[in-house]
Structure 1
Amino acid sequence: MQIEKAGVFQGPIDCLLKTVKNEGVLGLYKGMASPLVGIAAVNSLLFWAYSYGKTLQTGSADVTPTLRQIAVAGAGAGIVNSVLASPVELLKVRLQVQYNTASEANTVFRGPIPLARYLIQQFGFRGIAWGFWATVAREIPAYAAFYAGFEFTKRRFADALTNGDASKLGTLPLMLSGSAGGVSLWAVSYPLDVIKSRVQNGKAPPKGLGYIAATAREIAAEQGIKGFFRGFSPTVIRSIPAAGVTFATYELVMRALGSNSK
């Protein structure tokens, strides 16, 4: 929905039904291999950079950072994370929509490795770094909001349930806090994600940095402000369980590691 021009899909349900009708149920899983293989590395790098960013500002892992410091650490983690997230998402995006472009390219890629090999052969390093700066532009506000939204909600739960001790929060409050972080992420960055997806599905890797603004103008001219929010509702709905589970797992694992180190 982010990439198609207006009129192809009338909404998320129409997109779902047309995908299943034209490509079968497995069409809903196109491009899954790239994030499935890369997500562990991407999240590991992201959370490491976030933890490092907090410690860099506070001077100690034992000092509780302010929400501003949380947001700054998240923004820095987003920049670092782009190194892995950009190629992973590039391959995912192009695999997901190749049923539209296969006739033009006369090639259907069966997975991320053949596609990555093709892009490198055609464009060199630029082929796999396609849309990197668009990814960076999205990741900075996205992860500032992601971590700040989580921490803000977690601290409110702690004030209400455990006398301010966030380490005693149970799984459900942690999951709800994580969901708040996921919704916050997309609320501030979704238009930039649309731009990134459009860029990464272009005919050739862009040069310079002006392509981000140029793509934004193109979307606005075609579809107006609505063009920057196509596909927003399924993305937010997906983020609620995904971010909830991610943050709850992270917090519980860190607690377990801390207990075992004592």
Structure 2
Amino acid sequence: MEPLEELGEKGDGGVLRTVKDLTAGAAGGIAQVLLGQPFDIVKVRLQTSSQYSNAFDCAAKILKNEGPLAFYKGTLTPLIGIGACVSVQFGAFHEARRRFEELNAKKTPLNPGLTYSQYYLAGAFAGVTNSVISGPIEHIRIRLQTQPHGANRLYNGPLDCIRKLSAHEGVLRGLYRGEVVTIWREAQAYGFWFLTFEYLMNQDAKRNNIKREDIPSLRVATYGGLAGEALWLASYPFDVVKSKMQSDGFGAQQKFSSMTDCFRKTWAAEGFGGFWKGIGPTLLRAMPVSAGTFAVVELTMRALG
């Protein structure tokens, strides 16, 4: 007869575990969007335009010229999509983690836990899996965030944006523009995101001799926030290139032919600093957004049992 803990990971138990992972991730994704969208539009504007001197200048001009609701431009798409993205991230991460645990159990039955390189790889797998969804979602959001204000706007909403992007060069070259650099960014970002969070949680449990689920919510949120800082510091140059490519023109107006071309031209025109434009508001945003995401996910998973 199989041990109860093994039965829990097989058959209906395994499906239930996956459903719980996805549900917790979706809840965390909604929290992430609502907390982070105002910071995100400032980040994208700074990455793709030279008309602002700093983050505060950008925020002030958006408020003055476009009104307070402008900070939530393009929110509908990520509100629906990021919930799905974070759900996929946590579902894929925990699935990869379980696979590593099974592999480790065969080699070292007494200590099947993941190494920190395996935590990184599980996070990178989650990021690559997520990129299939996040690529077009972020492309649409960036187009809506960077389009001219008022009568000169290019898109009437997410669906109109999808239709026009697909009409230019088809779904793969239009809607999925910048997908290669998105995959690189997602792998690096979520590799470090999950690695940092798991390291901090494990060290807390070890230091205080408590179970992971007994770590107070405030410390969970703090570790989640620090993981968010690590995510962006590890992946930000890829994100800058992604934003440039996904706000680029079409046809004769296109500035960048590929990811490497965008890296090369950014370096030539702006130097090292060009790859870090907008990092200030991004790091400011990362702490509360990532803290809220992990706190909501952990609380949801604990509630689901």
Is 2:170 the partner of 1:121?
no
TM-score (norm 1): 0.89
Q: Which amino acid aligns with 2:139?
A: L
Deviation at 1:253, TM superposition (A): 2.0
Is 2:76 the partner of 1:45?
no
Q: Which amino acid aligns with 2:265?
A: E
For structure 1, list consecutive stretches of 5 or more residues without a partner in the other structure.
none
Residues 114 and 23 of structure 1: CA distance in aligned 2, closer, same or farther (over 3 Å): same
1:3 — aligned with what? 48
Q: Verify the 8 A CA contact 2:104 2:114 in the aligned structure 1.
A: no
1:133 — aligned with what? 180
Secondary structure at the residue paired with 2:242?
helix
Q: Verify the 8 A CA contact 1:55 1:61 in the aligned structure 2.
A: no
2:223 — aligned with what? 177
Residues 132 and 178 of structure 1: CA distance in aligned 2, closer, same or farther (over 3 Å): same
Q: Verify the 8 A CA contact 2:142 2:243 in the aligned structure 1.
A: yes
Is 2:130 the partner of 1:87?
no
Matches within 5 A, 1:145-160: 145-160=192-207
Number of aligned residues: 250
2:270 — aligned with what? 223
Q: Which amino acid aligns with 1:2?
A: Q
Matches within 5 A, 1:247-262: 247-258=294-305
Distance 1:230 1:110 in 2: 28
Deviation at 1:199, TM superposition (A): 0.6
Distance 2:104 2:174 in 1: 39
1:168 — aligned with what? 214
Question: Deviations along 1:7-57, whole A, 9 cap, x unmatched?
Answer: x11100011111122212222221212111211111111111111111111
Secondary structure at the residue paired with 1:124?
helix
1:21 — aligned with what? 64
Distance 2:119 2:77 in 1: 29
Distance 1:168 1:235 in 2: 31
Distance 2:299 2:104 in 1: 17
Distance 2:148 2:204 in 1: 46
2:259 — aligned with what? 212
Distance 1:140 1:179 in 2: 19
Deviation at 1:158, TM superposition (A): 1.8
1:78 — aligned with what? 127
Q: Verify the 8 A CA contact 1:54 1:61 in the aligned structure 2.
A: no
Q: Verify the 8 A CA contact 1:75 1:141 in the aligned structure 2.
A: yes
Secondary structure at the residue paired with 2:47?
coil
- Give the alignment partner of residue 34 of structure 1, picking from 77, 101, 121: 77
Q: Verify the 8 A CA contact 2:127 2:183 in the aligned structure 1.
A: yes
Distance 1:61 1:98 in 2: 50
Residues 107 and 241 of structure 1: CA distance in aligned 2, closer, same or farther (over 3 Å): closer
Deviation at 1:203, TM superposition (A): 1.4
For structure 2, list consecutive stretches of 5 or more residues without a partner in the other structure.
1-45, 106-111
Q: Verify the 8 A CA contact 1:190 1:232 in the aligned structure 2.
A: yes
The answer to which of 55-64 and 221-230 deviates more is 55-64
Q: Verify the 8 A CA contact 2:168 2:250 in the aligned structure 1.
A: no
Question: Deviations along 1:161-189, whole A, 9 cap, x unmatched?
Answer: 3x052221010111011111111100100
Distance 2:215 2:278 in 1: 33
Is 2:281 the partner of 1:238?
no
If asked which structure has higher relative contact order (CA below 8 Å, sep 6+), I would say 2
Percent identity between matched residues is: 35
Distance 2:187 2:275 in 1: 18
Distance 1:83 1:68 in 2: 24
Give the ranges of 4+ consecutive aligned residues of structure 1 lying more than 6 Å apart after TM superposition: none
Deviation at 1:107, TM superposition (A): 4.9
